[in-house]
Amino acid sequence: MTREQQIAEQMRELQAEKRRIEDETFQAEVLPKLKAAIGKTYAYRNTSYGCPNDGEYWDVFRKLVAVEESEGGASLLFQQVIEVMATLAGKAIARENV
């Protein structure tokens, strides 16, 4: 085995060890926090409708309903609860369960 092959093998072993440590850390520290957040609602500024007029913006409220574990991570499932459009004039339009 050449020196280059030895180093390549060591790198593969170290990368595998790093992935194992990251997975253990995710399972022990991150996943419990995600699962504890199930049921909480979060507000996001939504600008996906293009450029809003002066002072016009959309707030979207989403509730975390599930955390699905997958290999090397997790998927978060949100339900859009309410969408609010507000303007500088103070008018508000709300649509529930959009």
**What letter would DSSP give residue 1?**
-
- The pTM assigned to this predicted structure is 0.63
Residues of the chain with pLDDT under 70: 46-57, 82-98
Q: Alpha-carbon torsion 4, 10, 16, 21, what sign? A: negative
How high is the pLDDT of residue 55? 60
* pLDDT tens digits for range 21-43: 999 999 999 999 999 999 998 88
Please name which of 70, 69, 68, 49 lies closest in space to residue 60, comparing C-alpha atoms: 49
* Dihedrals phi, psi of 20, to nearest 5 degrees: -65, -45
Q: What is the pLDDT of residue 73?
A: 86
pLDDT value, residue 97: 47
Question: Are 81 and 63 in contact, with CB atoms under 8 Å apart?
Answer: yes
Q: What is the CA radius of gyration of the chain?
A: 22
